[in-house]
């Protein structure tokens, strides 16, 4: 058993660590409150905007807009897929980064002949992980996480739409984390482009719960709309705005998930510190009692030898 001085030193060290984890827990809780409020507030707007886009979904086959065009792979041509990977800049957030990175790497390991993946990273952790895995990073945006706004996400959405419009990639995917509750976050990979009925239905279902996407399509599927002006121009503007909003919403979901995971990780660390302090205090008391007993025994033995 360690000596009393060593145990006291360890207790002091753990108490100092506990102060740090408790402070980080409180900071994360404050940030989580703001992040969750932003994510939930924008969900309403995203839901209405996607509702509008699904209302004109029946007219998609008539459109030749590049964001609605499926890329057909030509013979002997390499298919390229672009993934926007959203992680955090810092650690100490439990399995938040590990889960979404693991899901992205699992996608890379799927046996696909003639498919090449490129990445746009939002967050340093995902960027570092993909570089270690030998993946090509087209662009990196670590600074977005510190100033998240619709204007700040504009460079990412523009880059994504430009890359797809040039027919360089057959699909654009987004790997992010859905915020379900402070205790539950779900890593997801969603197709962003091309904009499709199935993709929109999946995103709507993800926001509103099971059956939400199908319900909206049933609600508006048979309604005929009259358009004043150029239909292509209207659809182009609508598709670009909704695509940008999707990227922004996914970033907000990831931000809320990160702060929730960090708060929970720091809370668990603080509770573990309390347990360790309790165990070490018990060990310290036992060691001190053993020392006192030994000293009494030595005194008693000394008195017995003198008499």
Calculate Rg over the CA atoms of the chain.
Answer: 28
Q: What does the pLDDT read at residue 83?
A: 94
Residue 300 is predicted with a pLDDT of 75
Rounded CA separation 221/223 (Å): 6
Query: Looking at residue 109, what is its pLDDT?
Result: 80
Q: What angle do CA 107, 128, 28 make, to 5 degrees?
A: 95
pLDDT of residue 252: 93
Alpha-carbon dihedral angle through residues 78, 83, 89, 94, given to the nearest 10 degrees: -110
Element spanning 296, H or E = helix 231-306
The reported pLDDT for the residue numbered 167 is: 82
Q: For residue 248, what are the CA distances in angstroms to 26, 35, 90, 192, 254?
A: 26, 13, 20, 12, 10
Domain 32-262, CATH class in plain words:
alpha beta
Q: To the nearest whole percent, how much of the chain has pLDDT over 90?
A: 41
- pLDDT for 42 equals 85
Question: Can you give the pTM of this predicted structure?
Answer: 0.80
Residues 70, 266: Cα–Cα separation, whole Å? 45
| pLDDT value of position 202 | 53
pLDDT lower than 50: segments of the chain:
203-204, 207-217, 219-222
């Amino acid at each position: 058993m360690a000596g009393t001085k060593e145990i006291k030193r360890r207790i002091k060290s753990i108490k100092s660590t506990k102060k740090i984890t408790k402070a980080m827990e409180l900071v994360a809780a404050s940030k989580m409150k703001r992040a969750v409020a932003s994510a939930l507030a924008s969900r309403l707007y995203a839901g209405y905007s996607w509702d509008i886009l699904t209302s004109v979904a029946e007219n998609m086959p008539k459109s030749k807009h590049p964001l609605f065009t499926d890329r057909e792979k030509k013979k002997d041509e390499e298919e390229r897929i672009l993934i926007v990977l959203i992680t955090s800049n810092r650690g100490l957030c439990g399995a938040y980064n590990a889960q979404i990175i693991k899901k992205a790497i699992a996608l890379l390991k799927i046996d696909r002949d003639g498919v090449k993946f490129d990445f746009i990273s939002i967050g340093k952790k995902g960027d570092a992980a993909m570089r270690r895995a030998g993946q090509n990073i087209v662009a990196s945006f670590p600074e977005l996480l510190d100033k998240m706004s619709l204007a700040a996400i504009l460079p990412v959405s523009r880059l994504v739409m430009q890359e797809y419009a040039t027919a360089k990639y057959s699909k654009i995917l987004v790997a992010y984390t859905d915020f379900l509750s402070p205790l539950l976050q779900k890593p997801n990979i969603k197709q962003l482009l091309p904009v499709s009925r199935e993709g929109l239905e999946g995103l709507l279902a993800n926001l509103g719960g099971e059956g939400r996407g199908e319900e909206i399509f049933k609600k508006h599927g048979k309604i005929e709309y009259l358009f004043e002006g150029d239909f292509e121009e209207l659809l182009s503007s609508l598709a670009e705005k909704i695509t940008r909003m999707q990227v922004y919403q996914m970033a907000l979901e990831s931000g809320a998930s990160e702060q929730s995971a960090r708060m929970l990780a720091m809370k668990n660390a603080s509770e573990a510190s309390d347990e360790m302090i309790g165990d070490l205090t018990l060990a310290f008391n036992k060691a001190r009692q053993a020392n006192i007993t030994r000293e009494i025994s030595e005194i008693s033995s000394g008195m017995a030898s003198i008499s």
